[in-house]
Amino acid sequence: MKKTKKLIISGEKDRVWDATFQLMSWWDAESVRKSSVMVVGAGALGNEVLKNLALMNIGHILTVDFDTVEYANLSRSVLFRESDSDARRNKCEVAAERIRQLNPNVRVMALHGDIMIDIGLGVFRRMDAIIGCLDNRLARLMINRQAFRIGKSWIDGAIENLSGQMVVYKPGTSCYECQLSDSEWANIRERMGCPDVARRNYAAGKIPTTPISASIIGALQVQEALKLIHHNDKQSTAGEIFRLDGMHNLFMHYDVQALKKECDSHFQIAEVIELPELRHTSTVQEALDILCRHFDDEGLWINLDHEFVIEVTGEDTGHKIYPMKAKPHLSDDILDLQRIDPLEELFITKSVSVLDRSFPYPELTLKAIGIPPLHIVSVETKGDIHFAELHGDKDFMKFT
Ligand SMILES: [Zn+2]
């Protein structure tokens, strides 16, 4: 029998993942190891970004996506396999598993959810870089507003055919919302009105993408993320749009449009109050008790980011449905289960947009109302507005 050669494992000193990167004068291994980066979207672009982040030894990587792997994704996704599409596995979970295999030094967390409602603002707050790998404007707008609210830049990428673009949006310098044209706004409004997650996020028409443009644009996004991690403001490309025309090998850059005076994205929270007793599993009653005690005001209320729908009525039959869900969570599937006429129009006839002592269901949890873990809620007291983090959820972020 042939003897197999014993594998000689080199000493720990030789097993430093980023030894080569450390040869770059600007590389700060400690900052990179400690950093946290969120990647929203695990499609073609997200795959490339996640792969690069893992190879670059980013300490904590959060992957967010609500979708499952399909066979059509395989030609553009280095992290997915045919078995993943057969099993319809969640994209974010597969991606997390594969990048852990790529570089066992990185800690990864997968969040299966919709950026519109499922990711708390406190999650954004804990990130050193936020990267958007999305195919629709509504989700981009959401990231822009959330990131700016806590004073963070974010890095947007978009691909189509052999082309693509990359933009760093930075509060006070460049803003995604300020760039939107009237027709783009019309498209966003249409999606905002659509409660179904899948339909809301479905890109209008099929946009052809390639792994080639994804790898170029994704690489640029990670390069910009490294600048953010290193606080390298000087070399940041914030304020410019980088556009790649892959067919003609053109690489162009333009200045972004000037900031508008009136823009909802420009609001920034001055102070976040961390309340350790408050968590997404607190009931409305408990949350109000904690807040009223803290602010010494029995009349305060919590402003909801999304309308909480209590009652929906059929236009013709007058049949009433009680979904008890935040509007973005109100899918057709939920309504179809209870409606008696599948064709009639349904109208929201009872909903609330604030939680106060008069809320009729104080036993419901904040989670049930549509407030995600580690969120920062807006609390209104007599003439003042405060921002309180569900700090009891601080251990929610688990990178493994
Ligand atoms: Zn703006």
Same domain, 76 and 161: yes
Q: Which of residues 198, 232, 266 is at a domain's end? A: 266
Predicted confidence (pLDDT) at residue 134 exceeds the cutoff of 70: yes
SS3 state of residue 144: helix
**Is the predicted pLDDT of residue 11 greater than 60, yes or no?**
no
Asked if residue 330 is part of any domain, the answer here is yes
Residues 158 and 184 placed together within one structural domain of the fold: yes
Residue 88 CA, ligand 1 centroid: distance in Å: 38
Q: Do 132 and 164 lie in a common domain?
A: yes
User: Of all residues in the chain, what percent carry a pLDDT higher than 70?
Assistant: 93
The two beta strands, 107-112 and 163-169, are: unpaired
CA distance 75 to 85: 12
Residue 168 CA, ligand 1 centroid: distance in Å: 13
Q: What is the CA radius of gyration of the chain?
A: 23
If you measure from the C-alpha of residue 147 to the centroid of ligand 1, how many angstroms do you get, rounded to a whole number? 12
Mean pLDDT of the chain: 92
Summary count for the chain: helices (H), strands (E):
13, 15
Q: Indicate whether 250 and 330 sit together in one domain.
A: no
Residue 28 lies in a domain: yes
Determine the distance separating the centroid of ligand 1 and the alpha carbon of 92, expressed in angstroms.
30
Does 280 share its domain with 259?
Answer: no
Q: Report every protein residue that has its C-beta within 5 angstroms of ion ligand 1.
A: 175, 177-178, 263, 265
- Termini Cα distance of the chain: 41
Residue 144 Cα to ligand 1 middle (Å):
9
Q: Please check whether residue 18 lies inside any domain of the structure.
A: no
pLDDT in tens, 82-99: 999 999 999 999 999 999
Domain contains 19 = no
Alpha carbon of 175 to ligand 1 centroid (Å) = 5
pTM assigned to the model:
0.92
Per the domain annotation, does 74 fall within a domain? yes
Residue-level pLDDT at 335: 79
Distance 64 CA to ligand 1 centre (A): 24
- Whether residues 292 and 182 share a domain: the answer is no
Ligand 1 centre from 180 Cα, in Å? 9
Q: How far is the CA of 157 from the centre of ligand 1 (A)?
A: 18
For residue 351, give its domain range.
272-396
Cα distances from 108 to residues 20, 67, 198, in angstroms, run 23, 18, 25
Question: What is the Cα 50 distance to its own chain's centre?
Answer: 14
Dihedral sign from CA coordinates of 126, 56, 49, 175: positive
What's the average model confidence in pLDDT over 191-201? 63
- The mean per-residue pLDDT over the stretch 58-68 comes to 97
Domain count, the chain: 2
Average of per-residue pLDDT across 269-277: 97
Asked if residue 332 and residue 236 are part of one domain, the reply reads no
CATH number, domain at 147?
3.40.50.720
Residue that is last in its domain, among 238, 266, 294:
266
Average pLDDT of the residues in 342-360: 93
State in Å: Cα 28 to ligand 1 middle: 32
Kindly provide the residue ranges of all beta strands, DSSP E only, lying in 225-299, ordered along the sequence.
Answer: 240-245, 250-255, 272-275
> What pLDDT does 99 receive?
98
| Judgement on whether residues 214 and 65 belong to the same structural domain of the protein | yes
pLDDT in tens, 309-346: 999 999 889 999 999 999 988 877 777 777 888 888 88
200 & 255 share domain? yes
> What is the average per-residue pLDDT within 355-364?
97
For residue 270, with 0-12 CB atoms within 10 Å meaning exposed, 13-18 middle and 19 or more buried, which class applies?
Answer: exposed
Q: How far is the CA of 174 from the centre of ligand 1 (A)?
A: 7
Whole-number Å distance, alpha carbon 194 to ligand 1 midpoint, is 24
What pLDDT is recorded for position 198?
57
The reply to whether 260 and 310 lie within a common domain is no
176 Cα–ligand 1 center, Å: 6
Ligand 1 mean position, distance from CA 83 (Å): 43
Residue written as token pair 């852990």: 100
The alpha carbon of 38 and the centre of ligand 1 are apart by a number of angstroms equal to 22
Which domain-ending residue is among 239, 266, 293? 266
pLDDT: which is higher, 191 or 381: 381
12 domain residue, yes or no: no
pLDDT at 5 over 60: no
Query: Do residues 80 and 139 both lie within one domain?
Result: yes
Statement to judge: residues 200 and 294 lie in one domain: no
Per-residue tokens: 306: 């999304």
394 Cα: distance to centroid of ligand 1 (angstroms): 30
The verdict on residue 10 lying in a domain is: no
Q: Is residue 3 part of a domain?
A: no
